Structure 1
Amino acid sequence: MRLIWVLATLVVLASAGSLKDPPTVRYDNYSVYQLSIKNKIQLSLINKLGELSQKYNIWKDYDDHTKQMHIMVSPSESTRFQLLLKFVGISSQLLIDNVQKLIDDEKISNRDSGTFGWKRYHELAEIEAWLDEILATFPSVTESFSIGQSYEGRNIRGIKISHGSNKPGIFIESNIHAREWITSASATWFINELLTSQTTEVRNLAENYDWYIVPVFNVDGFEYSHRQNRLWRKTRQPHATSSCIGVDGNRNFNSHWMENNGASSDPCSETFAGESPWSEPESKALSEYLTSIKDKFSVYLSFHSYGQWLLSPYGHSEVEYPENYDDLQEIGAAFAGAIKNLVYGTDYVYGSTASVLYVASGSSVDWVFNELDKKVGFTIEFRDKGNFGFVLPPAQILPNCDELMAGMVALIDKTNQLGYI
């Protein structure tokens, strides 16, 4: 009898342990709509809906350029949502009718090959194994570095590519938002090109500059997006006062933190800025690492998706502009023009974050710009405009990468011409 009790207890304990991991979040028949916003009352209403994270999720905040925003709606709320739109006079367009189908199609593509490449998306362990292989293959020009530790104890890894000492540095931070998988895919492709491409313009980039690249910055959130919730955005640190988890890492930097409604104080919001600047160990570690190498880099780039934007400071104010804003606009025009000239004909909009998109305070780019005095910094929002949003099909990875390289060559060339490097 005692043996049976022990066995039963073990079964219960094992079951309890397995229940700690919640089931994978599914988005069957969740829809994404593009909304045309006419006034502040409409905007406030949709933002309030966006705080109901289980039923609504804002994919793209309202921006002054298009007067539009994107929101995902659960099937249980569909009828109520349409009635609400009609009542307040908001026009809508259906962009995605079933988010889960996009996720399922993505998973099928991810089964195509066991090798590392850019026809599918890779998990964190695969990316780190590939980094190890790259470091072993190119030991004379590559060097591993660590930003620090995440909340869950993962190493935030980076790679430095250098063909000599004392060359101007360019820092790339990628995947600060977990669900934006195209960013780490593009970052790893870019690393590979710097090391293997024989084209003249890419060799010039590789050999004339030191590159510091972090393919996956939000390692905890990225892992969670692969294991539990494909659309997870934030970090994974719990809060003492809320059951909601995580912070928007790109609102947690100590530069105009929480100013002008550029972030949320609600722990359940996708743009929650944290209890204080540097509340997240990831952002704090990055700030300390960047400070330690501040004399070694001149340009800072942050990879994001989606929307096809090249965004310069400032994010905290729609009416303030940096002294070198005209130069940043010139660099932006070169970047967008180079991409537009490719066979895809993709349009990128450029300008300051707050003036052409929306107010976003406490971002990494603004912190580097303001506090480390690096006067060329951009957020690059990759494909697309909303037909796929965060679940960009793997078939678009390589076209996006082509656009990144064309834009990067033009961006660095123009930055050099203007005397910033």
Structure 2
Amino acid sequence: MLARSARIVHSDDKVKHRVLTYNFQEKIDRNLAEVQPESIDASQLDWRHFFHLKTMYEWLDKMAEKYPNRVTVLDMGSSTQGNAIKGVKLTSNANNKAIFIESGIHAREWISPAAATYIINQLLTSQDPKVQQLAQNYNWIIFPSVNPDGYKYTFEHDRMWRKNRQLFGTCRGVDLNRNYPDHWNSTGSSSDPTRYDYAGPSAGSELETKRLIDFIRANADKEQIKTYIALHSYSQMLMFPYGYTKERVSNYDDLQEFGKKASAAIKAESGRDYVSGSLFETIYPSSGGSMDWAHSEAGIPIAYTFELRGPPDSQDLFILPAVEIQPTASEAFTAIRTIVEAAAEKGYYK
């Protein structure tokens, strides 16, 4: 909670400042009231509420039961605390190129798992011919929560928890999006276990990181994964490699073009402004991210990190109200659809 008396910067300090909120706990309490009970039937999952990990996983199972010829439930393996890392593969043709989407690597960013389930639902149920074409022309591999321990913890204990739940003495957690073995801990991360951006004791040290790396290595060629999307919040940005350096990837111009087209498509849909560029140029330097690893080490040519709603100056920070779920998820799907269509025109999926 931030009380009025907690303002640290005084008016005579001549330092520009802005108080985002006087009572952050109120926002958290309202957000928690938008969570459906863990006991709810998974068939009731929607995009007007937030849902527990158990409900999301049960919903994936129900989608596989409902669409047995199109949906396969996937399991990367267990997390640090023994939770499954479950996802789905949506298949129309075994020879299709694949789009991979991971979300929830930062536990408190509830909108990203919600957006992932929205995208799954759209690909399975939409009557829009353009969406049906996407579902038919590409296979989709989607994992709504690649940090299930952290996600559960945000519902049960600390809404603002970011990291996984690995124990280091009296401290817990590694920022999984700083733990990948690509220029690990070189910039924008920390060696201090008490920090929110702790990169871990070594590159790829965390079980959740290993699970995703092993999955991509086993499937990148077999499944012909040509696009990697990591869903995050917030700041309304569509970013591509690199995060650790201003050096440009070989297909920088294409990724910039696709990102700008996606930003324009979102603007046309909702009026929201999304910025596109390399991660290093757009938000801040960071190393050890899954996107950089997927592009550089796994050789996936089209890789993006999306920062979804709200805007950079959001007063809600990561506590996005449930009323924002559907429009935010729609923006994410519009961006993905635009990027895939633009990349197809340039021959990336041949």
- TM-score w.r.t. the length of structure 1 is 0.78
Tell me whether 1:91 sits opposite 2:19 in the alignment.
no
1:169 alignment partner in structure 2: 98
The residue type equivalent to 2:27 in the other structure is L
Partners of 2:203 and 2:85 in 1: CA distance: 19
Aligned 1:177-216 pairs, distance under 5 A: 177-216=106-145
Secondary structure of the equivalent of 1:92?
A: coil
Aligned partner letter, 2:156: R
| Residues in 2 aligned to 1:273 and 1:109: alpha-carbon distance in whole angstroms | 32
Structure 2 residue matching 1:230: 3-state secondary structure: coil
Q: Which of 199, 224, 237 in structure 2 is aligned with 1:309? A: 237
Aligned residues: 341
C-alpha spacing 1:86/1:352, structure 2 compared with 1 (3 Å):
farther
Secondary structure at the aligned position of 1:195 is classed as helix
The answer on 1:332 being equivalent to 2:275 is no
1:338-377 mapped onto 2 (5 Å cutoff): 338-342=265-269, 344-377=270-303
Q: State the SS of the aligned residue for 2:319.
A: coil
| Bigger Rg, which one | 1
1:214 and 1:101 mapped to 2: Cα distance? 31
**Contact 2:229–2:305 (CA<8 Å) still a contact in 1?**
yes
Deviation at 1:372, TM superposition (A): 1.1
Distance in 1, Cα, partners of 2:32 & 2:292: 35
* Counterpart residue identity of residue 221, structure 1: G
Among residues 137, 143, 149, which one is paired with 2:78 in the alignment? 149
**Distance across 1 between alignment mates of 2:167 and 2:5:** 28
In 2: Cα distance, 1:176 partner to 1:111 partner: 22
Aligned amino acid, residue 258 of structure 1: N
The answer as to whether partners of 2:36 and 2:51 remain within 8 angstroms in 1 is: no
SS, match of residue 17 in structure 2: strand
Contact kept? 2:238, 2:304, Cα under 8 Å: yes
Q: Within the alignment, does 1:293 sit opposite 2:222 as a pair?
A: no
Deviations 1:192-212 (A, max 9, x none): 110011101110111110100
Compared CA separation, residues 418 and 125, structure 1 to 2 (3 A): same
Task: Give the superposition deviation at 1:111.
Answer: 5.0
2:19 aligns to what SS in structure 1?
strand
Deviations 1:377-411, CA, capped at 9 Å, x for gaps: 00000000112121100000011122122222211
State the shift of 1:90 in Å: 3.1
Closer/same/farther in 2, CA of residues 109 and 314 from structure 1, 3 Å limit: same
Question: Equivalents in 2 of 1:252, 1:109: separation in Å?
Answer: 32
Offset of residue 373 of structure 1: 1.2
1:290 is displaced (CA, Å) by 0.3
- Equivalent residue, structure 1, for 2:172: 245
SS at match of 1:346: coil
Change (3 A) 1:293 1:107: same
Does the alignment pair 1:116 with 2:41? no
Structure 1, gaps ≥5 residues long: 1-27, 31-74
Structure 2 partner of 1:418: 346
Cα deviation, 1:234-254, whole Å, max 9, x if unaligned, reads 0000014xx220000000000
Question: Is the CA contact (8 Å cut-off) linking 1:365 and 1:377 kept in structure 2?
Answer: yes
Name the amino acid aligned to 2:343. Answer: T
Residues 297-343 of structure 1, C-alpha deviations (whole Å, 9 max, x = no match): 000000000000001000001x311111111100101110100001x
Whichever residue aligns with residue 327 of structure 1, its letter is: D
Deviation of 1:123 (Å): 0.5
For 1:352 and 1:86, locate their aligned partners in 2 and report how far apart those are by CA, in whole Å: 38
Secondary structure of the equivalent of 2:20? strand
Please list every run of at least 4 consecutive aligned residues from structure 1 whose deviation after the TM superposition is greater than 3 angstroms: 111-114
Q: 1:32-91 CA distances to partner (integer Å, 9 max, x unpaired)?
A: xxxxxxxxxxxxxxxxxxxxxxxxxxxxxxxxxxxxxxxxxxx49824x214x864x431
RMSD: 1.6
Task: Give yes or no for contact 2:36–2:50 (8 Å, CA) kept in 1.
Answer: no
Percent identity, aligned pairs only, is: 37
Residues 208-247 of structure 1 aligned to structure 2 (within 5 Å): 208-240=137-169, 243-247=170-174
Match of 2:200 in 1: 274
Deviations 1:213-246 (A, max 9, x none): 0001100000000000000000000014xx2200
| DSSP 3-state at the match of 1:144 | strand
- 1:151 & 1:97 partners in 2: Cα distance? 36
Q: Which residue is 2:32 aligned to? A: 107
Give the secondary structure class of the aligned counterpart of 1:170. strand
Q: Distance between the aligned counterparts of 1:128 and 1:399, measured in 2? A: 23
Q: Is the 8 A contact 1:148 1:286 kept in 2?
A: no
- Partners of 1:310 and 1:269 in 2: how far apart? 26
For 1:148, what is the secondary structure of its paired residue?
strand
The reply on whether 1:391 has 2:294 as its aligned counterpart is no
Distance 2:5 2:254 in 1: 46
1:111–1:262 Cα change, 3 Å:
closer
Change (3 A) 1:268 1:145: same
The whole-number CA distance in structure 2 between the counterparts of 1:288 and 1:409 is 27
Whole-angstrom distance in 1 between the partners of 2:82 and 2:279: 32
Contact 1:177 1:233 in 2 (8 A): yes
Q: Secondary structure of 1:320's partner? A: coil
Deviation at 1:94, TM superposition (A): 2.1
Structure 2 letter corresponding to 1:293: N
